[in-house]
Structure 1
Amino acid sequence: MTMKHDPPPAAVTRGEAATVRAATSRRVLDPVARASEVLFGLIMVLTFTLSLAAAGAGRADVPAVLLGALGCNLAWAIIDAAMYLMGVRGERRLAISTIQAIRGAESPEVGRAIVAENIPPAVLPALTTSDLDRIRLHLSRLPPETLETRFNREDYLAALGVFLLVFLCLFPVAAPFLLFADLTLALRLSNIVAVAMLFLTGFTFGRQVGRPWRGGFLMVAIGVALVAVALALGG
């Protein structure tokens, strides 16, 4: 008869450490969190491309405008990626501070109170005192390697994903200006592509809350309104 054995303590603690570090990371491709990145990148490009029509520019002005859009999106993509890493570091420091506070609590009651403060209000009523105490004990026994703020491979890959989300928004919108000599046609196709990308972004976001079509149309409306505001204020 084959007996099942629990994994050795060292393996368990390593698994717990990895789980906690993963929990304090942010999902780079989470539609809710990243929809704003795509929206921002598209707005950035549209303020450049639509300025061609607003200023009555000719075909000769297209390279300069596209180069400006490229540089602007590149800069903001780098900034966005850096801000992502700063956010990850901040979230981890906050998690470490909470764990240290639980470990240093004067009594189990104080520890449970700290745990309760960090649980979403919608979840807290479903937890009993025993549940809170079990969470407190679990966090108190986490291994030392859990309390690390160093970036890992997943963090850098996630930051690269943020960079690409913002930067790559440029190319589908700019492509018509490179493919068609007729500036009016290129501008119309560029706008169609931008609206389609806005809709797909909103549709993906809306699927998370069960309203994909509403999310798609709402994202288009928000994007168009924000571009109009940006152009009205000088881009």
Structure 2
Amino acid sequence: MSGWQWCNSTTHWGAGGSNRRCLIAMFETLTNRPRRVLEPMERISEILFALIMVLTFTCSFSVADAGREEVRTMLVGALGCNFAWGIIDAVFYLMASFSAQGHGILTLGALRQVSSPAEAHQIIAQALPPVLVSVLSSSELEIIRQKLNQMPDLPRRPRLKKEDWLGALGVFLIVVLATLPVVIPFALIADAKLALRTSNGIAVVMLFLTGYAFGRYAGYRPRKMALAMVLLGCAMVGITISLGG
């Protein structure tokens, strides 16, 4: 990995806090650790997003008078919606990656231009998590500054790398693939009412597992977070449907 790639790490939720992620990626570069294409929280949020989108279709689907044509229309709508949003979300991911990389280049450039080590330490401290800053001494911040100044191959402008494209592909695949378990019952089960119950059951299980993974990642009561995710997901679906989404 070339030296400038420390700044090429982001989450597609936006460029806010990109300084922090850039410096975290810098540590991975200095220790020769490979960067993940998608962070766990990014995967979890994409699965939750996909489930909410597909549930707005299945939960608003009336099985009372539903025939095969109505089921087919619902399937096409659900798959088409998540396919389109998978593409849009992937584009957002690339935009955020591009923005964060450019912001990282500007930050590193500003770091190298300041004449006072104290100013450089302040720039680094603002980009790092507060807990990490609290245990770093001035001499350790100075070591970081020196290593950043020694990094070669700093590009003048941001460029999307292989990891960014793989991340965007991962976003797209997660959004689309997370849809399939919820809609497959409608394609395999002739009884629309049974298919809907099966679909809802699968969605609840997926929400539970997503919440459990979130709880483990956050370090806070996975089972409690799993139940909360089910309730949150159902509430968000209800709000989306009530607003005409």
**Interval of TM-score (by shorter of Structure 1 and Structure 2):** 0.7 to 0.9
Q: Deviations over 1:54-76 (max 9, x none)?
A: x8551231111111111111110
Establish whether residue 50 from structure 1 lines up as the match of residue 59 from structure 2.
Answer: yes
**Contact kept in structure 1, 2:82 and 2:179, CA below 8 Å:** yes
More moved, 87-96 vs 175-184: 87-96
Instruction: Quote the residue 1:103 is aligned against.
Output: 112
Instruction: Quote the residue 1:68 is aligned against.
Output: 77
Q: Closer, same or farther in 2 for the Cα pair 1:221/1:144, shift >3 Å?
A: same
Tell me the SS of whatever aligns to 2:61.
helix
Q: Closer, same or farther in 2 for the Cα pair 1:233/1:185, shift >3 Å?
A: same
Q: How far, CA to CA, are the matches of 1:94 and 1:20 in structure 2?
A: 8
Unpaired segments ≥5 residues, structure 1: 1-13
Q: Deviations over 1:29-77 (max 9, x none)?
A: 4222222211111111111111212x85512311111111111111100
> After the TM superposition, which residues 21-36 of structure 1 pair with which residues of structure 2 at under 5 Å, given as runs?
21=8, 23=25, 27-36=36-45
Give, as a single letter, the amino acid of the residue that structure 1 aligns with 2:110.
A
Instruction: Quote the residue 2:18 is aligned against.
Output: none
| 2:149 aligned to which of 121, 140, 149 | 140
Per-residue deviation, 1:208: 1.5
Tell me the SS of whatever aligns to 2:206.
helix
Instruction: Quote the residue 1:93 is aligned against.
Output: 102
Q: Deviations over 1:55-110 (max 9, x none)?
A: 85512311111111111111100011111111111111121111100110022222
| 1:169 aligned to which of 174, 178, 181 | 178
TM-score (norm 1): 0.86
Tell me the SS of whatever aligns to 1:144.
coil
Q: How far, CA to CA, are the matches of 2:244 and 2:127 in structure 1?
A: 43
Per-residue deviation, 1:232: 1.6
Q: How far, CA to CA, are the matches of 1:28 and 1:153 in structure 2?
A: 9
Q: How far, CA to CA, are the matches of 1:118 and 1:146 in structure 2?
A: 20
More moved, 108-117 vs 68-77: 108-117
**Contact kept in structure 2, 1:35 and 1:205, CA below 8 Å:** yes
TM-score (norm 2): 0.82
Instruction: Quote the residue 1:218 is aligned against.
Output: 228
Q: Closer, same or farther in 2 for the Cα pair 1:21/1:152, shift >3 Å?
A: same
**Contact kept in structure 2, 1:202 and 1:217, CA below 8 Å:** yes
**Contact kept in structure 2, 1:28 and 1:34, CA below 8 Å:** no
Q: How far, CA to CA, are the matches of 2:206 and 2:50 in structure 1?
A: 11
| 1:78 aligned to which of 59, 76, 87 | 87
Give, as a single letter, the amino acid of the residue that structure 2 aligns with 1:58.
A
**Contact kept in structure 1, 2:182 and 2:199, CA below 8 Å:** yes
Aligned residues: 221
Tell me the SS of whatever aligns to 1:208.
helix
Q: How far, CA to CA, are the matches of 1:191 and 1:70 in structure 2?
A: 16
* Identical amino acids, percent of aligned pairs: 46
Coordinate RMSD, CA, aligned: 2.2
Establish whether residue 128 from structure 1 lines up as the match of residue 142 from structure 2.
Answer: no
Q: Closer, same or farther in 2 for the Cα pair 1:170/1:203, shift >3 Å?
A: same
Q: How far, CA to CA, are the matches of 1:93 and 1:15 in structure 2?
A: 16
Tell me the SS of whatever aligns to 2:130.
coil
Give, as a single letter, the amino acid of the residue that structure 1 aligns with 2:242.
A
Establish whether residue 180 from structure 1 lines up as the match of residue 189 from structure 2.
Answer: yes
Give, as a single letter, the amino acid of the residue that structure 1 aligns with 2:145.
R
**Contact kept in structure 2, 1:21 and 1:146, CA below 8 Å:** no
Instruction: Quote the residue 2:124 is aligned against.
Output: 115
Q: How far, CA to CA, are the matches of 1:176 and 1:57 in structure 2?
A: 18
Q: How far, CA to CA, are the matches of 2:53 and 2:196 in structure 1?
A: 15
